[in-house]
Amino acid sequence: MDKTYTIAIDAMGGDNAPEEIVKGALLARDNYKSLQLNLYGDKGRILEIIGQSSQERITVINTTETIEMGDEPVRAVRKKKDSSMVVAANAVKDGQADALFSAGNTGALLASGIFIVGRINGIERPGLLTVLPSVDDAKRPWVFMDVGANAEVKPSYLYQFAVIGDFYATHILKRSKPEIRLLNNGAEEDKGDKIHIAAHQLLKKAKQLNFTGNIESRELLNGHADVVVADGFSGNAALKAIEGTALTMFTGLKKVLSTGNWQTKIGALLVKPALKEFAGVLDYNNAGGAVIAGLKAPVVKTHGSAKARAVSNTIGQIQEILISGLVPDITKYVHEHVDQFKVSVEEK
């Protein structure tokens, strides 16, 4: 922890920017003593939010444009050259920062990652990697990739997501021989479309991976895997269905308990602390952000609606990624096994 890492922060991205982003950065500065945080955005507003707080290990860099949530991603990254996101991404590319944080437009961050920060040589497509909790006894978190970057995939992409996920589970979640599964519409190896059938075979042959077969989305929260590999389309569908169902159920539950008869209302008061703890397991503010994995540096997106605490937690996650040496280790591995990657590509 002696080394100081610098994180480039897009202070203007997200529904609560720049207020919550700046407050989150200040919180992170206090929580993580070896981080230097560079904030990109409207300098006047950012300094106003910082106010009387210390500017220790905080640098503000003025930018004049902002990529909005509704902007067409690729075009926005090309045109808005002085946007907080693009300038921050260029800082990573130029070695002025070690990682990039944003709560802004996901597609634009993906484009900034691919076109500015750049892919690791040998990785065909970066993917969105997120960590979800399991709701079994161990509450053991697990890696889910891709959850939305690639609506269309080839078997080789899925294989590469597995390699990246394996490193993430080893380095960040501290698992040894992480159990890897492929999200599919059945347990048998001939399930799914051509792409998933071929990917299953690629993963089965990869002796360095502890691939234990397909998983159906019904089992995702039950702690059956350390890494779940998915195409970005169905991975996104499964992730959002989980989030939506959990949220809808908590909302419904709250309503049922608050609008019931006196017996229900008294009961609701009594169970409230236990329910709150249970809800915490599925609270995304406790988790970190989604990593655009497969890039030359960590690029991490947190929820657009993130508040200061979620921003700080995500910055902490980025620090962990940097300390663990995740990106250099993946890069080295892919470089040393580039033939294997080529084989996998040809077999698709």
Strands (DSSP E) contained in the chain are 5-10, 35-41, 58-62, 99-102, 127-132, 142-145, 179-183, 210-215, 227-229, 290-293, 299-301
- 278, 328, 329, 335: which one binds its own copies (CB under 8 A): 278
Q: Are 188 and 158 in contact (CB under 8 A)?
A: no
Binding mask 279-298 for its own copies (x = CB under 8 A): --xx----------------
What is the enclosing helix (H) or strand (E) of 327? Answer: helix 326-336
Q: Going by C-beta distance under 8 Å and a sequence separation of 6 or more, which residues neighbour residue 130?
A: 143, 144, 145, 147, 239, 287, 289, 290, 291
- 50, 173, 257, 343: which one binds its own copies (CB under 8 A): 257
Residue 233 contacts its own copies per CB under 8 A: yes
Q: Is the peptide bond before 339 cis (omega within 30 degrees of 0)?
A: no
Residue 263 contacts its own copies per CB under 8 A: yes
What is the C-alpha to C-alpha distance for residues 243 and 7, in angstroms, rounded to an integer? 29
Interface segment toward its own copies; rule CB under 8 A; list 49-57, 108-116, 245-253, 303-311: 245-253
Map the footprint of its own copies across residues 86-145, applying CB under 8 A. Answer: 135
Q: How many CB atoms lie within 10 A of CB 19?
A: 16
Residue 270 contacts its own copies per CB under 8 A: yes
Q: Are 143 and 228 in contact (CB under 8 A)?
A: yes
- 33, 266, 325, 338: which one binds its own copies (CB under 8 A): 266
DSSP-assigned letter for residue 219: G
Cβ 246 to its own copies, closest distance in Å? 6
Cβ 239 to its own copies, closest distance in Å? 8
Cβ 13 to its own copies, closest distance in Å? 17
Q: Which two tokens stand for residue 52?
A: 């009387």
Q: Which two tokens stand for residue 149?
A: 């970057």
Q: Which is nearer to its own copies, 267 or 325 (CB)?
A: 267
Cβ 180 to its own copies, closest distance in Å? 18
Map the footprint of its own copies across residues 197-226, applying CB under 8 A. Answer: 216-222
- 234, 302, 314, 319: which one binds its own copies (CB under 8 A): 234
- 4, 53, 54, 185: which one binds its own copies (CB under 8 A): 185
Binding interface with its own copies (CB under 8 A): 135, 148, 151-152, 183, 185, 191-194, 196, 216-222, 232-249, 251-253, 256-257, 260, 263-264, 266-275, 277-278, 281-282
